[in-house]
Amino acid sequence: MNISTILAATVLVAAVGLFIGIFLGVAGNKFAVKVDEKEVAVREALPGNNCGGCGYPGCDGLAAAIAKGEAPVNGCPVGGEPVGKIIAGIMGEEVSESVRMAAYVKCSGTCEKAREQFEYDGVKDCEMAAMIPGGGPKSCAYGCLGFGSCVKACPFDAIHIVNGIAKVDREACKACGKCVAKCPKHLIELAPFAQSVFVGCASHAKGKAVTAACDVGCIGCKKCEKTCENGAITVTDFVAHVDGEKCTGCGSCIEACPRGIIQRV
């Protein structure tokens, strides 16, 4: 092979490389996807948990919605108010104060207090157990099954099974709502973090059935409702419920409850 052949090959390779480089550069500019700088900045401000608690498919989805004005700047339940303020600055908006929320499990039927109608030996999963006739092994068809489907759903390790029922670590809870959606008994609700008084029961059964199934279930006697001066607790369909916005935490309902089902957390 002589020197002229080598030089020709080198020139050919260089020319092909140059052509490909120019082609890719032109194609890149022509077909480039325009990126919204605000969307990028918002995405960087979000915590990146991708929990879906905002109602969008992860942080990317929320960032895109905020940039388009389709979602509030404080729409991230994990980041809360601090992240909301940062995003508000990016978007040139004012952020209204958001109320911190946390989950609460409306059941106090621990192993000692709730009775079982049979011994369950199936799949240890709440959704599966709830399909059994009667709603599961517990005598109370409304009670927590205690198999931890909510625990598996929580991305923040904020909920655990303690003595047969689910308990929420309210400090760790980010109010993403995944446990709420997962519970087949609809026992978990999001309530203001500042709320301190809750009714630990969700049974709509009548008093006699409740007392037969659980030592602490709400019997719908309405003593709490009559005691509360703020109208913060009402009884509907045989079960009491506290309105966190009206409750002052005075504790009068706790003292009035003959079943000890109203709790301060």
222 Rama sector, left if φ>0, alpha if ψ -120 to 50, beta otherwise: left
pLDDT in tens, 91-117: 888 776 778 899 999 999 999 999 999
pLDDT in tens, 1-37: 567 777 666 767 777 777 787 877 776 666 655 667 8
Q: For the chain, where are the alpha helices, taking DSSP H only?
A: 3-30, 37-45, 58-67, 80-91, 126-129, 149-153, 178-182, 207-213, 223-227, 252-256
Q: Do domains 37-91 and 101-192 have the same CATH topology?
A: no
Cβ neighbours of residue 92 closer than 8 Å, sequence gap 6 or more: none
Give the integer Cα–Cα distance in Å for 245 and 223. Answer: 20
157-166 CB burial, b ≥16 within 10 A, e <16:
ebbeeeebbb
Give the integer Cα–Cα distance in Å for 147 and 151. Answer: 9
Q: By the 8 A CB rule, do 42 and 66 touch?
A: yes
Instruction: Output the average pLDDT for the chain.
Output: 89
Q: What is the CATH number of domain 195-265?
A: 3.30.70.20
Q: What is the CATH number of domain 37-91?
A: 1.10.15.40
* Beta bridge partner(s), residue 64: none
SS3 content of the chain, % helix, strand, coil (to 5): 35, 15, 50
Give the integer Cα–Cα distance in Å for 78 and 176. Answer: 7
Q: What is the CATH number of domain 101-192?
A: 3.30.70.20
Give the integer Cα–Cα distance in Å for 74 and 163. Answer: 36
- Count other C-beta atoms under 10 Å from residue 256's C-beta: 17
Domain boundaries, the chain: 1-32, 37-91, 101-192, 195-265
What does DSSP assign to residue 98?
P
pLDDT in tens, 133-159: 888 999 999 999 999 999 999 999 999
β-pair type (233-236, 197-199):
unpaired
pLDDT in tens, 172-220: 999 989 999 999 999 999 999 999 999 999 999 999 999 999 999 999 9
Give the integer Cα–Cα distance in Å for 114 and 201. Answer: 12
